[in-house]
Amino acid sequence: DEVAKLLELKAQLGDDPGKGKFVLKCPKGTKDYNPEQMSIREGAFKTIISCFKRHGAETIDTPVFELRETLKGKYGEDSKLIYDLQDQGGELLSLRYDLTVPFARYLAMNKITNIKRYHIAKVYRRDNPAMTRGRFREFYQCDFDIAGQYDAMIPDAECVKLVVEILTKLELGDFVVKVNHRKLLDGMFAACGVPDDKFRTICSSVDKLDKTFWDDVRSEMIDEKKLDPAAADRIGTYVKLKGGLDLIEALLTDEDLKKQKAAVEGLEDLKLLLKYCDLFGILDKVSFDLSLARGLDYYTGVIYEAVLQGFAHNPSAGSDEGECQCRQCGWWWKIRWSGWVFSILESRANSSNVKTRTTDTEVFVVSAHNGLLEARMKLCNELWDADIKTEQSYKKNPKSLSQFQYCESSGIPIAVIIGSSELEKNIVKLRIVETREEVEVPREKMVDEIRSTLARLSQQKTQNNASGS
Amino acid sequence: DEVAKLLELKAQLGDDPGKGKFVLKCPKGTKDYNPEQMSIREGAFKTIISCFKRHGAETIDTPVFELRETLKGKYGEDSKLIYDLQDQGGELLSLRYDLTVPFARYLAMNKITNIKRYHIAKVYRRDNPAMTRGRFREFYQCDFDIAGQYDAMIPDAECVKLVVEILTKLELGDFVVKVNHRKLLDGMFAACGVPDDKFRTICSSVDKLDKTFWDDVRSEMIDEKKLDPAAADRIGTYVKLKGGLDLIEALLTDEDLKKQKAAVEGLEDLKLLLKYCDLFGILDKVSFDLSLARGLDYYTGVIYEAVLQGFAHNPSAGSDEGECQCRQCGWWWKIRWSGWVFSILESRANSSNVKTRTTDTEVFVVSAHNGLLEARMKLCNELWDADIKTEQSYKKNPKSLSQFQYCESSGIPIAVIIGSSELEKNIVKLRIVETREEVEVPREKMVDEIRSTLARLSQQKTQNNASGS
Indicate the helix (H) or strand (E) that contains B281.
none
* B171 touching chain A per CB within 8 A: no
- Non-local CB neighbours of A94 within 8 Å, separated by 6+ positions: A65, A66, A67, A68, A71, A82, A83, A84, A85
* B429 touching chain A per CB within 8 A: no
Per-residue model confidence as pLDDT tens digits over A226-247: 999 999 999 999 999 999 999 9
Check B86 against A85: CB less than 8 A apart: yes
Domains detected in chain A: 35-351 (3.30.930.10), 363-468 (3.40.50.800)
Stronger pLDDT, B300 or A277, i.e. the higher one: A277
Q: Give the span between the Cα atoms of A458 and B388, in whole angstroms.
A: 23
Q: Give the span between the Cα atoms of B83 and A139, in whole angstroms.
A: 20
Q: Where are the alpha helices (DSSP H) in A301-372?
A: 340-351
> Chain B: nearest CA to A234, how far in angstroms?
30
Each residue's pLDDT tens digit in chain B (469 positions)?
444 555 555 555 544 434 445 568 999 999 999 999 999 989 989 999 999 999 999 999 999 999 999 998 888 888 999 999 999 999 999 999 999 889 989 998 998 889 999 999 999 999 887 666 667 899 888 889 998 888 989 999 999 999 999 989 988 888 899 999 999 999 999 999 999 999 989 998 998 887 789 999 999 999 999 999 999 999 999 999 999 999 999 999 999 999 999 999 999 999 999 999 999 999 999 999 999 986 556 667 888 888 877 654 344 333 333 345 666 555 667 777 665 677 777 777 777 777 889 999 999 999 999 999 999 999 999 999 999 999 999 999 999 999 999 999 999 999 999 999 999 999 999 999 999 999 999 999 999 999 999 999 999 988 887 776 5
Indicate the helix (H) or strand (E) that contains B152.
none
Say what the pLDDT of residue A297 is: 60
Residue B180, class by beta-carbon neighbours within 10 Å (0-12 exposed, 13-18 middle, 19+ buried)? buried
With cut-offs at 50, 70 and 90, classify the pLDDT of residue A133.
low
E-strand ranges in B76-234 read 93-95, 115-124, 138-147, 175-181
Per-residue model confidence as pLDDT tens digits over A254-263: 999 999 999 9
In A, minimum Cα distance to B56 occurs at: A361
DSSP string, B72-98: TTSSGGGGGGPPBBP--SS--EEE-S-
Residue in B55, B106, B157 closest to A32 by CB: B106
> Chain B: nearest CA to A275, how far in angstroms?
9
Q: Quick check: B207 and B294 in contact, CB under 8 A?
A: yes
> Chain A: nearest CA to B176, how far in angstroms?
19
Q: Quick check: B52 and B118 in contact, CB under 8 A?
A: yes
Question: ∠ CA B432-B438-B443 to the nearest 5 degrees?
Answer: 100
Instruction: For residue A25, list chain B residues with Cβ-Cβ distance below 8 A.
Output: 67, 109
* B371 touching chain A per CB within 8 A: no
**ipTM exceeding 0.90, yes/no:** no
- Tell whether the torsion through CA atoms of A208, A212, A218 and A220 is positive or negative: negative
> Chain B: nearest CA to A214, how far in angstroms?
30
Q: Give the span between the Cα atoms of B291 and B127, in whole angstroms.
A: 27
Length of chain B as a residue count: 469
Q: Quick check: B67 and B91 in contact, CB under 8 A?
A: yes
> Chain B: nearest CA to A49, how far in angstroms?
11
> Chain A: nearest CA to B423, how far in angstroms?
16
Residue in B13, B56, B394 closest to A389 by CB: B56
**SS3 (DSSP) at B391:** strand
Instruction: For residue A62, list chain B residues with Cβ-Cβ distance below 8 A.
Output: 26, 32-33
- Tell whether the torsion through CA atoms of A42, A47, A48 and A51 is positive or negative: positive
Say what the pLDDT of residue B210 is: 79
Say what the pLDDT of residue B318 is: 36
Nearest to A119 by CA among B35, B236, B309, B234: B35
Check B59 against A38: CB less than 8 A apart: yes
Residue in B14, B64, B378 closest to A279 by CB: B378
Check B32 against A361: CB less than 8 A apart: no
Q: Give the span between the Cα atoms of A161 and B378, in whole angstroms.
A: 12
Q: Quick check: A128 and A305 in contact, CB under 8 A?
A: no
> Chain A: nearest CA to B214, how far in angstroms?
31
Check A154 against B360: CB less than 8 A apart: no
Residue A125 CA: distances (Å) to CA of A86, A204, A321: 16, 22, 11
Terminal-to-terminal C-alpha distance of chain A:
47
Say what the pLDDT of residue B172 is: 81
Q: Which of A62-76, A412-426, B324-338 has the highest mean predicted lDDT (pLDDT)? A: A412-426
* B271 touching chain A per CB within 8 A: no
User: Nearest 5°: phi and psi at A14?
Assistant: 95, 5
Residue in A2, A381, A394 closest to B279 by CB: A381
* A224 touching chain B per CB within 8 A: no
Residue in B8, B23, B66 closest to A70 by CB: B23
Instruction: For residue A106, list chain B residues with Cβ-Cβ distance below 8 A.
Output: 32
Say what the pLDDT of residue A439 is: 97
With a CB-CB cutoff of 8 Å, which residues 101-140 of chain B face chain A? 101, 104-111, 113, 117, 122, 124, 126, 138
Q: Give the span between the Cα atoms of A192 and A467, in whole angstroms.
A: 54
User: Nearest 5°: phi and psi at A452?
Assistant: -70, -35
Q: Quick check: A265 and A305 in contact, CB under 8 A?
A: no
- Non-local CB neighbours of B215 within 8 Å, separated by 6+ positions: none
Instruction: For residue A90, list chain B residues with Cβ-Cβ distance below 8 A.
Output: 28, 126
Check A56 against B359: CB less than 8 A apart: yes
Q: State the virtual CA torsion across B3, B4, B6, B7 in degrees, nearest 10.
A: 120
Instruction: For residue B329, list chain A residues with Cβ-Cβ distance below 8 A.
Output: 12
Query: How distant is the alpha carbon of residue A427 from its chain centre?
Result: 47
Check A61 against B32: CB less than 8 A apart: yes
> Chain B: nearest CA to A224, how far in angstroms?
26
Residue A451, class by beta-carbon neighbours within 10 Å (0-12 exposed, 13-18 middle, 19+ buried)? middle
With a CB-CB cutoff of 8 Å, which residues 175-194 of chain B face chain A? none
Residue in B75, B86, B108 closest to A22 by CB: B108
Say what the pLDDT of residue B12 is: 52
Check B93 against A27: CB less than 8 A apart: yes
Nearest to B368 by CA among B413, B420, B438, B414: B420
Check A56 against B93: CB less than 8 A apart: no
Check A32 against B69: CB less than 8 A apart: no
Nearest to A384 by CA among B44, B154, B52: B52
Q: Residue A6 pLDDT more than 60?
A: no
Neighbours of A395 (CB within 10 A): 16
> Chain B: nearest CA to A230, how far in angstroms?
33
Residue in B11, B34, B396 closest to A60 by CB: B34
Q: Quick check: A369 and A421 in contact, CB under 8 A?
A: no
Q: Quick check: A282 and A312 in contact, CB under 8 A?
A: no
Residue B309, class by beta-carbon neighbours within 10 Å (0-12 exposed, 13-18 middle, 19+ buried)? exposed
Residue in B9, B56, B64 closest to A359 by CB: B56
> Chain A: nearest CA to B79, how far in angstroms?
12
In B, minimum Cα distance to A79 occurs at: B14
Check B381 against A33: CB less than 8 A apart: no
Indicate the helix (H) or strand (E) that contains B366.
strand B363-367
> Chain B: nearest CA to A395, how far in angstroms?
5
Residue in A8, A70, A88 closest to B330 by CB: A8
* A161 touching chain B per CB within 8 A: yes
Q: Give the span between the Cα atoms of B53 and B386, in whole angstroms.
A: 30
> Chain B: nearest CA to A390, how far in angstroms?
6
Buried b (16+ CB within 10 A) or exposed e, B273-287: bbbbbbbbebeebbb
Say what the pLDDT of residue A11 is: 55
Nearest to B358 by CA among A343, A52, A9: A52
* B3 touching chain A per CB within 8 A: no
Say what the pLDDT of residue A73 is: 82
Per-residue model confidence as pLDDT tens digits over A368-389: 999 999 999 999 999 999 999 9
Residue B334 CA: distances (Å) to CA of A54, A235, B117, B163, B425: 37, 64, 10, 11, 64
Check B154 against A105: CB less than 8 A apart: no
In A, minimum Cα distance to B137 occurs at: A63
